[in-house]
Structure 1
Amino acid sequence: MPPLPYARRLLQAATCPALLIASAPAAAEPIPDQIRDMIMSANPGERGTVGNVAKRAAPESAKEISALISQLNDEDKAENEAQLALQGFFDGWTGEGSIGGTLSTGNTDQEGLSASLGLDKRSLNWEHNLDLSFDYLATNGEITRERIYAGYISRFDLSGPMYFSFGLLSFERDRFSGLEYRFTESLGLGYRLRDSADFSWTIEGGPALRQTSFTDQDDENRLDLLGRTEVRWKPASNITLSESAGVVWSTGNSSLYSKSAATAKLVDNLSARVSFDVLHETEPPADREKTDTITRASVVYAF
């Protein structure tokens, strides 16, 4: 019979490999073919949701599923950047046009029209936004609203997607609020608080020059301060909520605005939108209201 210490060493040598095998983590399972096909066919914006469903269906393949989604996202990003690098200025624009109307007869005859056009482009370092809008309203044959707005914003990334500078040019005409015309030019800095497919939030600010021609008082040329923010949220794949708000602060008249909208996709590129605008002047021309509101119901076509 072997001595006790010798027997103990033999027992340890026999059980050590078994202990190592038992304590080693289980090898990850390959992704089942059906789940892999589902992930591969998903749109980029749907991969996160599809991936979560896939992990619940095949928890033993969770690591491989995460790795596959990361690989696909990296490939899409590289392909998108390569395409953007080859674009000219007139390439890659997307946009939407909307139109809405009002018609009532009887004790009060009212006719109204609202139309807008928005164009967007995003390249490797630049982002461009162009917005045009027109609002018209006549009551009993008398024009009570006729507002025109045109605005252009360009942004340049300074050190990655989170920081950028911006330039703004805008034109307004609203004679019923006392504005024959008003031009605004601004340069400044901004910050992207969030920038994802489902939620984005930016804030911007800087000095602004304004040249205003009033309908019934002297013209003004001023150096003011501009601040603005934009929020876009998609709580569902067919619903988009947006908010754009800003202020041009001045020692004289300051201007504030808020544009809230809810857009529901109907079919393909066609959507329905309800929006509510608030326009406020702290010191408007004489006999003019400080606050105007515009409520719209529009049909939107994206292209």
Structure 2
Amino acid sequence: MLRMIALPIPVALASVTAPAHAALPEPVKAMVKAAIESGNDAEIQSVVKFAKLTHPDDSAEIDTMLTPYNEKKAQLAEAKKQQAEEKKLAKMEAPFFDNWSGEGELGGFRNTGNSDNVGLSAGLKLVKDAVKWRLKLHARADYQRNNGSTSKEQFSAALEPEYKMNDRLFFFGLTQYDRDRLQGVSARYTLSGGIGYTVIKEDDIRLDVKAGPAWRLTEYIGGGTDSGLAGLIGMDMAWQIAERVKLTQGAGATIASDAQSLSSATAIFSSGTNTLTAKTAIDAKISGKLSARLSYVVEHETNPPVGRKKTDTLSRATLVYDF
């Protein structure tokens, strides 16, 4: 009978003398709470990680503190997903003249005194972005007079449709018209099409590359034409450096193969009249939809008419309005 009474005593003593589980220390709890209130997900994950490492027995309590934040985060993600679906549906159902965005650009100057200069630079860009395709329209004009003589007269317009295979791969077409009297070009027509790929697609930076065959016809001011098959390669980049500062870089090359050239050349691509262009621009937000833009353009013609320089550069300072 004594043995029967003695057996449960150690168990009872163990249950009485076992230390109680300590709650999460107040400083740690305050640190986790402050991180959650900040709303910065990276900071929250970091604080929670080290709180659990230093207090593994309190992981359940830490998770309980995180529950309201995780629920709110899931609700926001679902709402964002729903908005994306609604936006996608709106694009699918929108008429042709809806969902257009773009920008207008205008700059000018005038100098008097030792020299009398007047210049004007204007540009327009429109983009319609649908679910499976995108349509781009560009137009630009640059004009300058120096002491009564025209020192710059250039106009270009382009229409570029794109068909999206997925989030990165797309097919493009291009119809372009250019006129540059000082370069000796009365009119230049370009037809092209090919494939493009979005190499980088992040919230603050995007890089697109594209390439394909082309056909080009050039009419010169001095008479004569140059037409033939060509190859087109291009690159477009947009980088949101800061909240109010954006850098864009565009470069393209049209590689022509002679057909009826009046002056055949073997410059960079062995034959034909090759046109290389590169543009760099930086935008600084002034207020609302208005920005100031500084841009620098390099245009290189491997085989220009006699008496014309191969390389032209143009610096612009303009105001840009987004709509």
The two structures share one fold, judged by TM-score above 0.5: yes
CA distance in 2, matches of 1:8, 1:262: 80
Deviation at 1:66, TM superposition (A): 4.9
Match of 1:120 in 2: 127
Structure 1, unaligned runs of 5 or more: 12-17, 20-30, 39-49
Name the count of aligned residue pairs. Answer: 277
Matched, 1:291 2:311: yes
Task: Identify the residue that residue 257 of structure 1 maps to in structure 2.
Answer: 277
Could you tell me which amino acid in structure 2 is paired with residue 202 of structure 1? D
User: Displacement of 1:76 after TM fit?
Assistant: 2.1
Aligned sequence identity (%): 32
- In 2 relative to 1, CA 88–204 (structure 1 residues): closer, same or farther, beyond 3 Å? same
Counterpart of 1:178? 184
Say which SS state the counterpart of residue 228 (structure 2) adopts: strand
**Is 1:140–2:147 an aligned residue pair?**
yes
Would the alpha carbon gap of residues 8 and 232 (structure 1) be closer, same or farther in structure 2, given more than 3 Å must change?
farther
The answer to whether the aligner puts 1:55 opposite 2:44 as a matched pair is yes
Mapped pair 1:211 → 2:211: no
Give distance in 2, aligned partners of 1:195 and 1:73: 19
TM-score by length of 1: 0.81
For 1:182 and 1:132, locate their aligned partners in 2 and report how far apart those are by CA, in whole Å. 14
The 1-side partners of 2:9 and 2:208 are apart by 72
Change (3 A) 1:7 1:199: farther
Question: Helix, strand or coil for the counterpart of 2:81?
Answer: helix
Q: Which amino acid aligns with 1:264?
A: A
**Residue 98 (str. 1) matches residue 97 (str. 2):** no
**Pairing 1:86–2:106 present:** no
Moved more, 209-218 or 113-122: 209-218
Secondary structure of the 2:305 match is coil
The amino acid across from 1:299 in the alignment is: L
Q: Which moved more, 1:196-205 or 1:169-178?
A: 196-205
Name the structure 2 match of 1:14: none
Residues in 1 aligned to 2:135 and 2:43: alpha-carbon distance in whole angstroms: 37
Greater shift, 222-231 or 247-256, is seen at: 247-256
Secondary structure of the structure 1 residue equivalent to 2:90: helix
Q: TM-score, normalised by structure 2?
A: 0.76
Task: Specify whether residues 302 and 10 from structure 1 end up closer, same or farther in structure 2 by C-alpha distance, changes over 3 A only.
Answer: same
The whole-number CA distance in structure 2 between the counterparts of 1:8 and 1:245 is: 84
> How many Å apart are 1:218 and its aligned residue?
1.9
Secondary structure of 1:89's match? Answer: coil
Match of 1:226 in 2: 232
Task: Provide the rounded CA distance (Å) in 1 between the counterparts of 2:281 and 2:231.
Answer: 26
Deviation of the 1:67 alpha carbon: 3.1
The structure-2 alpha-carbon separation of the partners of 1:70 and 1:58, relative to structure 1 and needing over 3 Å to count, comes to farther
Which of residues 149, 153, 156 in structure 2 aligns to 1:149?
Answer: 156
Contact kept, 8 Å, 1:54 with 1:65, in 2: the verdict is no
User: Residue type matched to 1:103 in 2?
Assistant: R
Describe the SS at the equivalent of 1:82: helix
Question: 1:302 deviation in Å?
Answer: 1.0
State the AA in 1 paired with 2:196.
Answer: G
Give yes or no for contact 1:275–1:295 (8 Å, CA) kept in 2.
yes
Partner of 1:47: none
